[in-house]
Structure formats: structure tokens, C-alpha cells
Structure 1
């Protein structure tokens, strides 16, 4: 599509949107819904005022709370009807979105189309990187388009299994030029023929933003997406050596701001009567023409369940922006679930849908409202884990620094302080930088089954708790609130020596061997 055609299409779309605006903002069955744009803040409503049942939402909050979730928020007709934060996570903390980042990169690509910076999603990829000496070029790579990147059907040979020797994504991150690394991969099949989840595809799209806008994806997003939507919580990882923002993960947003992304799609790409992304882009994302995995469909870096009438942005460890257009609903969920733990998205859609009773307001229900209030309050109340008393060894190891041999975690030393109050831990690590050879991390640790939160640090808020498993083994569970990860440090003491077994929610494991320093 030529620039002129893009401009004409945008103009026509603008007139169409204004002409049919009441339908676009979610009026149903003759109900005249007030226009809602949550740029400054989200309006709050009782579920009954929006045709939903408080008791059903209370049960949903309780059910979600049985998993390692951080938050759940449900919005109908542009108003928050249910919002829960599960301790120790609290409101206002930006959350690691993992692969929800991909859907945002897709949205930025849509903005490039809307503004005419990208002429067409059918543009061949290697033409857009013509200055690169691309390897393994054949007819299949020549046919690879922007759309095939967006649909995870690029045909690039790619293995994405975490912490395995042939894992392509990790090799990409070790490459001095990650964009070139992706472009140089051989082809496994014809573009468009087969779905293959590939973190290199959104990396190329992020690099394309640099080329077309002269800005990295984060700077482009701040101006063209986050500022118009009122998003202020955004954090994104550092750019690579070529100035490219990581496209496959790394974005942090608060749940409220995650919901703004979903609401943009629910309103067909419009915000405050301005078309931010093409409505046709939203329709394709919703339709999900590409058959993916486990019954899901895919398109434009968004997942969908067409038979459920819903589409979504999904990230590892239970990050979710869910859109149910027919019910005018956006739902957001964040968490720290392991890969073998998951909350059924299909079940979540069903549970939300069952709570919808009408497109018109329901009578107030004080009893159900109380149930919802109590469920929300209980979610924010931490439940302690079982602990045992401290052995005599605790006095011996308290305050002692244990030095470690070379290890994958680059840990130099580990110290535990067991006091009557404010017990704490200290970890020092090697940085590999001459100007600052070590880093020091410290925080409080609860010994009573509850997390202890530490004062905010540059990297976030630590929350940790620990317990003695037996006379010589202490296990500490550490979180940085808002990160989709739980770390477990299990220290087994043997005289002056210690063995530390580390494991995190990503499934990464390491064994460290240390000795008490003099």
C-alpha cells in the first residue's frame, strides 16, 4: 500500500468511526453508554451497575488466589468492576510482562502502518534490511514478509526451549549483532506455511522501528502509544549494541496500564476519537487466522480463542491482557506461575462470562457486594507458610560470609543474619566490569512464614521469607515484586562449607559451592 493510499484509508476510517461512534464505544441493546476514555484514571463501578454479579466475581478472585497470581482486574464498559492484588504484590508496581511485550511490539508496527511509516505488511523483510549482508538467502527467505513475522510463520529455523544447548534465542542474545543473527538463520520452511513461536521475529520488528522512525521501540512507544493512552508506568530493558530494544520481552507495565492496551483494542484501535491503530489490524488480531498450539490461534503477535470470542496478549508465568468484545470486557492478570502450573484462559473466559447477567444495570446486591469486598481484602492479606524453630546452627552461621568458587550466577559471597528482628541476607556478585567489579544486594527475610519487604532499591522491592528444612538446611524464597520470578536459595551447611542449590520460576538451576571466609 502506497503512502497516499494509507492516508486516504486513514481519512475514510476516521469518517466511518465518527459516523458510527455509539456502536464503537460499546452501546448494546439500545443502552446509551457514556463515552469513557481512561487516559487520566480508570472509573470504578459496582459490578451490578455494569450488569455483572458481584458474588460470581468474588468466587473468581478466590479461585485465582489459589494460584501464584499477583493481580486480577476486570473492566466492563470502561469501568473497573473488580480488582484484586495478591500479597505480597501490591498496587502501583510495574510488572514484568514477558511475551506480552511481543503484542505491544505488534501494536507499534500497527502504528507505523497507521502513520504511513511502513507502506505494507506485505513488504519483503530482506528488502527492509538491504544494507545487511544476509546469509542463507533463498527463495523462501526472499518471500518472508513483515506479516509472516507478525504471525510467527516466518519460516526461519528456530528452537525456543529454555536452557537447552540448541536454544536459538539464547544464542541470539549472545550475538554481537542480534538483528543480523536472526536474519542470517537458515530457513526451515516457506513463509506462511507453519506456526513456529520465535522470539527472533519480534526482534526484527523492533529493529524495523529503528529504521523507519529513527527511534528505538521504547522511545517510539512513549511518544506514539504510551503518552496518548496515559501510560506512565512503562519500563523497558536496555537497547543492544545496535540501539535496538528487545522485542520479544522486557517490557514492564502496571496492571492499570496493561488494561489501557487492551482497551485500545476493545475500542477498535481508537482512543479519545483518534485512530491510533487501524481497525482492520484489530479485526485480524481478533480473528486469528493462524492455527497455533493447544487450540489457540494467532495473528499480529496476538493470541486468540475464536470459539470463545476472545483474544489476548499472553506472557510466561501468567501475564495476560484478555479482551472479550461481545461482552465489552477487558481483563488483566499477572503472576509468577511456573511453566507446569497454569491458570486456564478458557476457564477464565467462562468464569468471567458467567458473571455477566445483563447489558443493563442490575439491582444493587449488598450481600454479594460484601462478598466481593471480603474476597478482595483476603487477596491482599498474606497467608503464612509453615515454619519450624531455628536449630543451634543458626547462631553459628549468622553473620558469616561464605565465599564461592566460579559459578553460573557469578555469586561471590552469601551472608545470612539471624536476629531477633529484621533478619536479613546479603549477596555480592561479580559484574565483569573494571569500573565496578562487584555488586551488592541485600534485603530482609521473614522467618515466621511471612515475606519481609525491603526498602525500594534501584532494581525494585525485595520480598523474602525463609525456613529451616532440617538441622543443617535453610531455604530462602526471594522475590522482586513485579518480576515474574520466584528464586529459591537452599543452603546446606557442613562445617565451614556450604552448598547452595538455586532454582527460579524460569526453571533455571545451579549448584554453588562455598566456604566460610576468615
Structure 2
């Protein structure tokens, strides 16, 4: 990622010196390349020095890797490789084990910008106080909100028709579309045609992008789509499902998802700063990928699920919902996620389920996963939560390699 940054600088320099005489331009370019070659040499500034995460008044206990039996030498190698860009553009790595945050590292990288080259916006030095776009981890948070709405009695059941909570779209309650339930949206089995994984996220042919350019309201754009499978029978990754779920929360609770999540999820977890600002012109929230959180607050979500829905002795969500999240929905197995460095995995109530291999061992886990490398990974067997943020929007992710080759072996 350092190389990419230097290339961006070079392109900027060439634009600045365009008005200069030809000979002067040549001198500037030669001087730049001398700097480029020298600065791209081996990093001799010293080895990575581990420091335990700083304690903060946020409800997270902090400690040293050695206190939880993790090998600081192995982790030192991993962080050094991350600093060198061996795992592509990683913005943060947080590790929580045995009720303790033992590693918290941040790296420089690009902010997300949809209309920029490779979606790479401003170059920043990420830190714990900065909100990060969590992309499709948002889907997992929206799922949590649905579960809480059921726990609180606002929604009766996941088996209800979605149209029970969409009063302005009753005219679309026709044929087999009337059979689409809340559960079908949560599990990506609505049966509606949606080819999100067939086109890049920079292409207007991708429906999750095209929806922003449609003259229709977002829910009509989604629900007027062709029903190509019987609801509940076929998996298809579909961001539109989550946008509908956001509106179901609004109509069932009389609170938009930003207000509802603040009251019933974020406030109880001590999450004070978050951003649901991505909205369509009519006020509908982009509940599929529009949330921004701090990495430590992403960690709190994972810890709550590690503890079966409880945070600091307070139940946030029911054990039944945690069980739904950690159990593959029937038929939602052997799914290959584009750009991921993992084998085929399973999908549940908007969370992924996987088995991690390390040092001749295996451990079951589940995670929220977002485009570019946003992860909340929960591994109950190891009493561990790992959080990643990143900016790999057009390149293959290598986070699971880091997890299985370094992080998990350091716990052996």
C-alpha cells in the first residue's frame, strides 16, 4: 500500500509540473525517481515493538498478549508484515481474548470513496477515534436490530409476511411475492432477481448501485423485481433485502433504524458515536452497507455474541437469536464469496459461518463480513473476537491467511 501511495504522489507531481519547460520537467521527474527508489528500499527503521492497548473508559478490559497465553513473537511477525503491506491494505487489527483486549493496531490507508480510482479516497493515518465504513457488516447489525425488535414485541415473528409491515407497498403483494417473509430477507432467500455479485460495485449494472439512479422509490425498485425462485428455496446475495428490513423496523417500531439502534443496541453497549447518514432522497436508510463505526465498537458487537447476547451482565439480544445467527439456514451452505481468501462457507441470519484451520487444529466461528475487509469474527472455542477494517475494494482479501497463519497459531 506504500507503493500505491507513492504512485499517487507521482501522478500528482506530473500534473503540477506540466506548465514547466520541458527540461525542467525532466529534472523534476529524475529527482522524484531517485527519491522513489531510495524510499522503496528495505525498512531498516527497526522491528515492530508491541505495546498493550491503552485503557479507556469504554467498558473494555485491556492487557498484554502474554496474559492470555498468546505468543508476542508470532504476533510481532504478523504486524510487521501488515505494516509492509503483505496482507494488502489493512486499516486495523483488534484481538480480544479471555475477556481482554490484548492487541490494537492501526495502519495508514485510504478512506472509502465510491467515485475514486479503486474507490480509494483520502490517505489517512487510521486510529481508534476514527469512524470506519463497515460496508456489509451493516447487514449483520440490521439483523441484530430485527432480533431485538422481536424480543421487544414490536415484530411478532420472522415468519410473518414482509407486507405486514409495508403499508405503502400493498399493491406489490401479489402472487408468490406475498409469501416472502422476514426470515427470507434475513437469509438472502427472498427469490427476487438480484445480480449483485455479477457486476463490480463501480458499475451501474449492479443493482445496489443502480437503485441510487432509479426514479422509483427504493422499495418499489426492489419489490417490482422479478421473482425467479420460490421464497426460501434459493440463496442469492441481495443488499435490497436489508434495505427493506430497515423500513420494516421503521414501520413496526415507529423509529428509523438510526434511532432504534441507538436506543436498543448502541446505547446499552456504550457506543456513543456512529453514523447512519447514507439515505435515499425519500429518507430510506441504506441498511445494507451504510453504517460507520469505530473498530472498538465493532468489537463490542462481537463480544456480545461471544457471550450469547449479553454485555456486562445485561442481555442485549435473546439466546434464541444468537442460535439463529450461528446456525446455517437450510440450503445456505457451500457459498463462495467473491474476493475472499476462504473456502466455501455458510450463511445464517445475515452472518457468515466458517471453520478456521490452524496448526493442525480447527475452530468453528461466525462473522460479519464487509466489502474491502471489514470483519467482526467470533470464535467461541477460543473465547476470542477479532476485528479487521481495510480498504481492499478491488483486490483479493488476505485477512483469513493472517488469522490462520499467525493469530490463531499464536494462541496454541
TM-score, normalised to structure 1, is 0.59
Residue 230 (structure 2) aligns with: 190
Equivalence map 1:9-408=2 (5 Å): 40-65=58-83, 66=85, 67-87=88-108, 88-135=125-172, 137-139=174-176, 141-160=177-196, 161=199, 162-175=201-214, 176-289=216-329, 290-291=332-333, 292-294=335-337, 295-306=344-355, 308-345=363-400, 348-349=403-404, 351-357=406-412
User: Quick check: 85-94 or 161-170, which moved more?
Assistant: 161-170
When residues 39 and 221 of structure 1 are mapped into structure 2, their CA distance, relative to the original with a 3 A threshold, is: farther
User: What SS does the aligned partner of 2:211 have?
Assistant: helix
Alpha-carbon distance between aligned partners in 1 of 2:222 and 2:188, rounded to the nearest angstrom:
13
When residues 39 and 89 of structure 1 are mapped into structure 2, their CA distance, relative to the original with a 3 A threshold, is: closer
Alpha-carbon distance between aligned partners in 2 of 1:346 and 1:123, rounded to the nearest angstrom:
40
User: Quick check: 98-107 or 52-61, which moved more?
Assistant: 52-61
Please give the per-residue CA displacement for 1:395-425, whole angstroms capped at 9, x wherever unaligned. xxxxxxxxxxxxxxxxxxxxxxxxxxxxxxx
Alpha-carbon distance between aligned partners in 2 of 1:349 and 1:119, rounded to the nearest angstrom:
41
Alpha-carbon distance between aligned partners in 2 of 1:120 and 1:238, rounded to the nearest angstrom:
28
Kindly indicate whether the alpha-carbon contact (under 8 Å) linking 2:139 and 2:350 is maintained by their aligned counterparts in 1: yes
Please give the per-residue CA displacement for 1:472-493, whole angstroms capped at 9, x wherever unaligned. xxxxxxxxxxxxxxxxxxxxxx
When residues 181 and 39 of structure 1 are mapped into structure 2, their CA distance, relative to the original with a 3 A threshold, is: farther
For the pair shown, which has the larger CA radius of gyration, 1 or 2?
1
When residues 156 and 346 of structure 1 are mapped into structure 2, their CA distance, relative to the original with a 3 A threshold, is: farther
Where does structure 1 differ by over 6 angstroms across 4 or more consecutive aligned residues? Answer: none
Q: Judging by fraction of residues, say which structure has more helix.
A: 2
When residues 39 and 133 of structure 1 are mapped into structure 2, their CA distance, relative to the original with a 3 A threshold, is: farther
Structure 2, gaps ≥5 residues long:
1-55, 109-124, 338-343, 357-362
User: Quick check: 56-65 or 262-271, which moved more?
Assistant: 56-65
Kindly indicate whether the alpha-carbon contact (under 8 Å) linking 1:136 and 1:187 is maintained by their aligned counterparts in 2: no
User: Quick check: 66-75 or 236-245, which moved more?
Assistant: 236-245
Kindly indicate whether the alpha-carbon contact (under 8 Å) linking 1:258 and 1:321 is maintained by their aligned counterparts in 2: yes
Q: Which has the higher contact order (CA 8 A, sep 6+)?
A: 2
Give the Å deviation of 1:252: 0.8
Alpha-carbon distance between aligned partners in 2 of 1:354 and 1:165, rounded to the nearest angstrom:
43
Give the Å deviation of 1:75: 0.5
Kindly indicate whether the alpha-carbon contact (under 8 Å) linking 1:73 and 1:83 is maintained by their aligned counterparts in 2: yes
When residues 282 and 57 of structure 1 are mapped into structure 2, their CA distance, relative to the original with a 3 A threshold, is: same
Kindly indicate whether the alpha-carbon contact (under 8 Å) linking 2:166 and 2:247 is maintained by their aligned counterparts in 1: no
Give the Å deviation of 1:347: 5.1
Please give the per-residue CA displacement for 1:142-184, whole angstroms capped at 9, x wherever unaligned. 2211111001111111121224453222232234411222122
Equivalence map 1:404-443=2 (5 Å): none
What is the alpha-carbon root mean square deviation over aligned residues? Answer: 2.0
Alpha-carbon distance between aligned partners in 1 of 2:126 and 2:265, rounded to the nearest angstrom:
27
Kindly indicate whether the alpha-carbon contact (under 8 Å) linking 2:89 and 2:390 is maintained by their aligned counterparts in 1: yes
Alpha-carbon distance between aligned partners in 1 of 2:395 and 2:289, rounded to the nearest angstrom:
20
User: What SS does the aligned partner of 1:189 have?
Assistant: coil
User: What SS does the aligned partner of 1:237 have?
Assistant: coil
Kindly indicate whether the alpha-carbon contact (under 8 Å) linking 2:128 and 2:296 is maintained by their aligned counterparts in 1: no
Give the Å deviation of 1:201: 0.3
User: What SS does the aligned partner of 1:337 have?
Assistant: coil
TM-score, normalised to structure 2, is 0.73
Residue 52 (structure 2) aligns with: none
How many correspondences in the alignment?
319
